Every structure is written in C-alpha cells, then in structure tokens.
Amino acid sequence: MNPSLRQQFDRLEMRLAELDASLADPQVTGDIGRWRRLSQEQAEVAAIVERWRRYLRREADLTAAREMQADPELAEMAAAEIAEAGADLERLQGELRRALLPKDPDDARNAFLEIRAGTGGDESALFAGDLARMYLRWCERQGWRTEVLSESPAELGGYKELVLRVEGPAVYGQLRFESGGHRVQRVPATESQGRIHTSACTVAVMPEPDEAEEVRLNPAELRIDTFRASGAGGQHVNKTDSAIRITHLPTGLVAECQDDRSQHRNKAKALAVLTARLREAERAERAAKEAATRKSLVGSGDRSDRIRTYNFPQGRVTDHRINLTLYKLGQVMEGDLGDLVEALRAARAEEQLAQLEAGGPA
C-alpha cells in the first residue's frame, strides 16, 4: 500500500483515540449537540480503523505464510493461505481507499434541477421538454419526489425554462454531474428536408440549502414582486397575485415560484431557490479558481460546458468529460441514467484517489 495512505490510516487511529477520550469527557456529554457530532465522527472513524486493523492482521498472516513455505511439509497449506490472504488484502485495500474519499456534505441533500432552452429556437425548447421527461423518469425510478416550482412553456411544446425540486435520499450526490451544456443532434419534426439540426440546453443542479442558511439573506438586498400565476389553476389565477419573484439586488439573480396557491409558501420556495443559486455562484467561482491550477476530471459544472451530446440518427449518447459513449439513447431518454451516473461517480472517485495517493488534496 502507498506509504502516504498508511500515514493517513495511522493518523485516523490517533484521531479515534482522541474522540474516545472526548466522548468520555463530562463537558462533552453535557452538550448534546457537540456529543452527537463527535459520536457520528467516532462511528465513521471507528469503522475505517477496524478495517485498517483487519488489513494489518491479514498482512501479518501473509508474511507468516510466506515464511512457512520454506518447510516442505507446510508448503501446500502455506500456498493456500498466501492465495487467500492476498485476495483479502486486495479487497480490503480497495475498501480502505474508497473510505478515505472526502465526503461532500451536500451530496445527501435534496436538489433544485433547472433546465433552460439555449441555441436552436423551437427545437431547443422541445429538447428541454425531452430532458425534463428523462429526469422525471429517472427520479421515478429512484423513488424520489419531484415538484415543479416554476415553468415557462414554449409555443410549440417543451419549455423555455423549467425548475424542479427533487426530494429523496442522496439526490444531489447523483444528479450533480448533470450540470452543464446538453447538445442534441437530430432531425426536427418541423424539418421537411430531413436535415440534421444541432441545438442545446443548459442544465443546472444545485443542492437545496437548509433553513439556517436561508435566513442569512439580507432583506434590504431583496426586491420581492408579486404577480398572477400563469397556467393551470382555474378562476383562482384571475383573482389572486400569489406568484412571487425575488431579485437579489447585488448580483441580479432572480428566483420565482408560482406553483402554490399560498403566497407565503411560494415566497419560502423562491427564497430557497435564490439561496441555492447564490451558493452555486460562489461554488462556480471557487471551481474556476481551482481550475487554474488543476483541471477537474468531471468538469467544473459550469453551465457553459458542453458535457453531453445526444445523437439521435446514430442512437448514441456521449459524455465528453469521461469520453464515454453508449449506444442506448432510447433507454437513456426513458430515464435509464444509471450507467452514466455510475461512470461519472467512478471517474470522480478515481481522481480523488489519485490525489490522495499523491499526498495532495482530493
């Protein structure tokens, strides 16, 4: 095993001893919030340390078995033990390397998913509708709950813009790689000559902030407008200005919600979206600075990045960040995103592992 990884596991053993001592401290046990945080960290570190200790035991077993091979009477038994210990060590090393990967606390959050039509006019809006259907099918497969926060339908179908809230376990961790430019190549329904057109949409996925973060917005920096909701709603939409649009004056970022009949609930949802957009803008700024020193394997998530191409004539989808091409476009458009998501997560994990083994930040 890489010496730098061994050092990290040794440090974790020391950290476990510190946590055990802290949890036995009366001052810590009297602070329930701190006790819970340390207890959670202790459980996570203890699981890694226990696996590390099993690795060291099997390493010692392997050394002993190799020494046994010198005895002709024990050579056969030693060979079997060497094979078994070697397999165990390979498995444990993989588990230990993955256990060291830094965890993004946002991965466990719900997410806001935004789809916007880009270049390509009506065809782009139709493609935005196709992407919305794809993601809704994927969410359904995962057992996640989806909610439309705002939508701007296009005249010929599809959307100029659609904002969804997705709720469920580890939503952001699986959807985070969808942020960026999505390009489609196909013959539009309105094309009489049968020519292939290229159009694009942008997708942005943002973790939903918690309530404690939402209240950090300065009311003096917000302009809140009310207007009548558009779309379905019967006579209600003609009587009540329940839709809310909030503008963050320093940045010009805007969020709106018209899904609920309650103006108060629409305001709360719009504030959550606005906070998420502000956090995403800060994240993008940090990513841009980091990209100056090293290029992320799976991209920065910048909306201008062309991350994926959907080629209908050839029935293929290509993710340009990891050079992955799948000839299953039909299944993908029906919400079968599993192969893409897992490949992107694996690529990110490999990059993080490479950084860890090099002794640098992951």
Q: Which residues pair with 253 in a beta bridge?
A: 248
Q: Is 304 exposed, middle or buried (0-12, 13-18, 19+ CB in 10 A)?
A: exposed
CATH number, domain containing residue 181: 3.30.70.1660
Instruction: Give pLDDT, residue 21.
Output: 92
Contacts of 139 (CB under 8 A, 6+ apart): 145, 146, 166, 168, 335
> Which of 186-195, 237-246, 251-260 bottoms out in mean pLDDT, i.e. has the lowest?
237-246
Residue 258 clears pLDDT 60, i.e. is over it: yes
Query: What whole-number distance in Å separates Cα of residue 127 and Cα of residue 333?
Result: 11
Average pLDDT, the chain: 84
Q: 362 in a domain, yes or no?
A: no
- In this predicted structure, what is the pLDDT of residue 271? 83
Contact 342, 322 (CB under 8 A): no
Q: Name 97's Cβ contacts closer than 8 Å, sequence gap at least 6.
A: 5, 353, 356
Average pLDDT estimate for 192-219 = 78
Is residue 337 situated within a structural domain?
yes
Residues 6+ apart with CB under 8 A from 89: 55, 58, 59, 62
**b/e per residue, 87-121, with b = 16+ CB within 10 A?**
ebbeebbeebbebbeeeeebbebbbbbbbbbbebe
The predicted-structure confidence for 43-65, as pLDDT tens digits, reads as follows 989 999 999 999 999 999 999 99
Instruction: Based on the fold, state whether residues 200 and 112 are members of the same structural domain.
Output: yes
**Residue that wins the pLDDT comparison between 8 and 212:** 8
Asked if 141 and 93 sit in the same domain, the reply is: no
Q: State the DSSP H helix or E strand holding residue 224, giving kind and residue range, or none if neither.
A: strand 222-227
The boundaries of the domain holding residue 15 are 3-99
Which of 99, 123, 142 is where one domain is finished? 99
**Same domain? 240 vs 338:** yes
Q: Is the pLDDT score of 183 beyond 70?
A: yes
Share of the chain above pLDDT 70, in %: 86
Boundary-marking domain end, from 99, 132, 158: 99
Tell me the mean pLDDT in the region 327-335.
Answer: 96
On whether residue 272 sits in a domain, the answer given is: yes
Among residues 99, 118, 139, the one where a domain terminates is: 99
Residues 129 and 227 in one domain: yes
- The verdict on 311 and 273 lying in the same domain is yes
Over residues 278-313, the pLDDT tens digits come to 888 877 776 676 555 334 434 444 444 689 999 999
Reference 125, options 150, 146, 148, 151; nearest CA is 151
> pLDDT tens for residues 60-113?
999 999 999 988 888 999 999 999 999 999 999 888 888 888 777 788 889 999
Query: Taking the mean position of all CA atoms in its chain, how far away is CA 239?
Result: 40
Share of the chain above pLDDT 90, in %: 45
Beta-bridged to residue 311, according to DSSP, are 185, 316
Report if residue 357 sits inside a domain. no
Ranges 2-16, 61-75, 113-127, 184-198: which has the least confidence: 184-198
- Across the range 336-340, mean pLDDT stands at 95
**What pLDDT is recorded for position 229?**
67
Give a yes or no: residue 48 inside a domain: yes
Q: Average pLDDT, stretch 267-274?
A: 84
